[in-house]
Amino acid sequence: MSTTASSSAASNTDRPFPWVGLSTLAIAIFVLVTSEFLPTGLLPAMARDLGVSESQIGFLVTIFAGTVVVSAAPLAALTRQYSRKSLLLIVLVVFALSNLLAAIAPNYEVLVGARVLGGLAHGLFWAVAGAYSGYLVPRHQIARAVAVTNAGGTTAFVLGVPLGTALGFALGWRAAFGVIAASVLILVVMVWKFLPSVSHHVSLATGEIRLPARRDPTLPAVLFVCVLVALIMTGHNVFYTFIAPFLLDTSGFSTESLSILLFLYGGAGAIGLVLAGVIGSRYPRGGLYGMLIAVIVAVLTIAAFAEVSIVVVVALVVWGAAFGGLPTLLQTRLLHVASPNVRDVGAALLTTAFNIGIGGGAAIGAVLFARTSPTVLPMVEAGALGLAIIALLIYEARRRSQGLSLVTRPVPIVGTER
């Protein structure tokens, strides 16, 4: 590592914790995640207005996620040389435009185009925003910084989507998308004013050349984290996608209590996010293993005692708290193992992995839900997370045998001219 990079790191360590900048990112994440899942709450109204089936409106979420999967990594690679803050501003403007197009879409085809445009912006946004916190803080504060920004996503599920749905019912679904577009434009001003600029380029010493991302020595560790995320998210969404019918039909809860149960799950997730920020800074490995094991125990308890209401409620809260911290711990691990040379590409790949897990888990869950007992779903989730733990143990044992650190970012990020 060059002297310039070392002095920059030392300077970064002396800075106060960037609450304002990180909070701005969290608000941006809140708005974008709310927009991503907004059609799920407004599905009947959108279908009636556009004269299409509800399944076609539901497919808009799949289109959005599929666009992110296909485009996030390539767009991140193509824009690596651009200023992170400037790129974020451009992406937000494009996202505002996509929501405006959705609000005024005269037909379903234009709405699909608006969602594709939004997916392109969303994928690149996460590629930039996902790594941004790693540039704002020193390494030992990464877990705390990621927890702050990820609070935006958690709050979107707890408050954003329900509020957006309520607004859509009160003023019409087009007004809901219009409000999102206006909110994103306000975010552009906030990002321009409050988010510090960062340098994501690595200074090279004389005789050194920058390695392409595919030859970066930290890339295998980054890819492993992404595979781990895809496995965990697939298992989670096999069960969580069908949590409502499970609670109503299998556990026997009333329709009126469903919203309360989901709110408890979301609130517990917010607690888990706070815990991840604390635990991830002190015990990054132990915290990850602990939360994975807690989720396994919780969902297996739900499967075993599906008809015992109080047990299900307690296990649901434990599940929400444990799983609520996992995305933060996994993103922290990626930022720990990735060199600055591949952080942005790594963040894009992480976004891709999350969306693969969301879509793939829902598809697998749909097949199982239709053909097997509902209690199979939590057991599948437990099995997937068990495989993730085994893979993590094997991977870490292999790194130990090679004399490599488990979470510390390797230093070499450049080659030497010959």
| pLDDT score of 5 | 41
| pLDDT score of 204 | 43
d(CA 357, CA 53): 26
Rounded alpha-carbon distances, angstroms, from residue 295 to 74, 198, 225 = 33, 36, 18
| pLDDT score of 80 | 77
The closest of 121, 302, 83 to 201, measured between CA atoms, is 83
| pLDDT score of 269 | 84
| Long-range contacts of residues 106-115, Cβ cutoff 8 Å, at least 24 apart | 107/50, 108/50, 108/51, 108/52, 108/56, 111/46, 111/50, 111/60, 112/60, 112/63, 115/60, 115/63, 115/64, 115/67
SS3 state at 348? helix
Rounded alpha-carbon distances, angstroms, from residue 76 to 29, 187, 222, 348 = 18, 21, 15, 6
Residue-wise pLDDT for 264-274, tens only, equals: 887 888 888 88
What count of Cα atoms within 13 Å lies in the side-chain half-sphere of residue 6?
Answer: 5
| pLDDT score of 199 | 66
Residue-wise pLDDT for 317-339, tens only, equals: 999 999 988 988 888 888 788 77
Average pLDDT per block of 10 residues along the chain, 418 residues long: 42 70 90 80 80 78 82 84 88 95 94 93 85 78 80 76 78 92 93 82 45 68 92 91 83 81 82 80 84 96 95 95 88 80 78 84 82 92 97 89 58 34
| pLDDT score of 354 | 86
Residue-wise pLDDT for 24-53, tens only, equals: 999 998 998 888 777 766 777 888 899 988
| pLDDT score of 214 | 62
Residue-wise pLDDT for 77-93, tens only, equals: 888 788 889 999 999 99
| pLDDT score of 171 | 87
| Long-range contacts of residues 12-16, Cβ cutoff 8 Å, at least 24 apart | 12/137, 12/138, 13/138, 15/137
Rounded alpha-carbon distances, angstroms, from residue 234 to 73, 302, 362 = 20, 18, 8
